[in-house]
Amino acid sequence: MFECPGDTFADQIRYRRKWYSIVDSRSSKEDLDNPNEFLRELPVIPELATFAQVEHQISPLFSTKEPFILQDLEDINVKIGDPIRLICKFSSEEKVTTTWKRPNGENEDVEVETNETSSTLLIPESTLSDSGQYIITLENEYGKCSSICWITVITPPGTPLDFTYERLPNEVIKLKWSAPTSGNSQNLWYTMEYKREDMSEFQKAIHGITQHAIKISQLQQVIYKFRVYAFNEFFCGEPSEEIVVNMNEINNKNLMEISLD
**Interval 51-103: pLDDT, tens:** 444 444 455 555 678 999 999 999 999 999 999 999 999 998 899 999 999 99
- pLDDT higher at 108 or 201: 201
Question: Could you give the CA distance from residue 184 to residue 156 in angstroms, rounded to a whole number?
Answer: 8
Question: Could you give the CA distance from residue 258 to residue 250 in angstroms, rounded to a whole number?
Answer: 16
Model confidence over 103-122: pLDDT tens digits? Answer: 977 667 899 999 999 999 99
Mean confidence (pLDDT) of the chain: 81
Question: Could you give the CA distance from residue 224 to residue 246 in angstroms, rounded to a whole number?
Answer: 6
Q: Which domains does the chain have, with CATH numbers?
A: 9-49 (no CATH), 68-154 (2.60.40.10), 161-260 (2.60.40.10)
CA dihedral sign, ordered 47, 53, 59, 60? negative
β-pairing, 76-79 vs 143-154, is parallel
Residue 36 has pLDDT above 90, yes or no: no
Structure letter (DSSP) for residue 129: G
Give backbone dihedrals phi and psi of 120, rounded to 5 degrees, phi first. Answer: -125, 130
